[in-house]
Amino acid sequence: MEFDSMIFYRSWMEAVAELDPVTQGEVYRAIVIYGMNNEIPEGLSPVAKAMFIMAKPNIDANNAKRRKNAENGAKGGRPKANENPKETQTKPKRNPNETESKPTQKPNGLMVNGLMVNENVIKTIPPKAADDERFETFWKTYPKKVGKKDAQRAWKKIKPDKDLFDRIINAVTDWKDSDQWTKDGGQYIPNPATWLNRGSWDDEIPKVRAPAKKNSFNNFPQRARTQNDYDEIERNLLGVRRRA
**Alpha-carbon 114 to chain mean position:** 28
Q: Nearest-CA neighbor of 33 among 61, 8, 67, 11?
A: 8
pLDDT digits (tens, 9 = 90+) for 93-115: 666 665 555 555 544 554 544 44
Strand ranges inside the chain, DSSP E: 7-9, 109-112, 115-118
What radius of gyration do the chain's Cα atoms show? 37
Q: What is the pTM assigned to this prediction?
A: 0.37
- The pLDDT-based confidence of 89 (bands split at 50, 70, 90) is low
Asked if pLDDT for residue 29 goes beyond 70, the answer is yes
Whether the Cβ atoms of residue 116 and residue 59 lie closer than 8 Å to each other: no
pLDDT of 202 reads 92
Asked if pLDDT for residue 80 goes beyond 60, the answer is no
Whether the Cβ atoms of residue 69 and residue 61 lie closer than 8 Å to each other: no
Name the β-bridge partners of 203. none
pLDDT of 125 reads 41
Q: Percent helix, strand and coil across the chain, each rounded to 5?
A: 50, 5, 45
Asked if pLDDT for residue 84 goes beyond 90, the answer is no
Q: Which amino acid is at 106?
A: K
User: 109-112 and 115-118: which strand pairing?
Assistant: antiparallel
Whether the Cβ atoms of residue 11 and residue 125 lie closer than 8 Å to each other: yes
SS3 of residue 223 by DSSP:
coil
pLDDT of 70 reads 79
- The pLDDT-based confidence of 201 (bands split at 50, 70, 90) is very high
pLDDT of 88 reads 53
Per-position DSSP letters for 88-146, written without gaps between them: PPPPPPPPTTSPPPPPPPPPPEEEETTEEEESSSPP-PPP-HHHHHHHHHHHHHSS---
pLDDT of 174 reads 92
* Alpha-carbon span 139 to 205, nearest angstrom: 20
pLDDT of 169 reads 93
pLDDT of 24 reads 85
**Alpha-carbon 221 to chain mean position:** 53
pLDDT digits (tens, 9 = 90+) for 105-151: 544 554 544 445 554 443 444 445 777 889 999 999 999 999 999 99
Whether the Cβ atoms of residue 118 and residue 107 lie closer than 8 Å to each other: yes
Q: Can you say whether the dihedral through the CA atoms of 176, 181, 185, 191 is positive or negative?
A: negative
Q: How far apart are the first and last CA of the chain?
A: 118
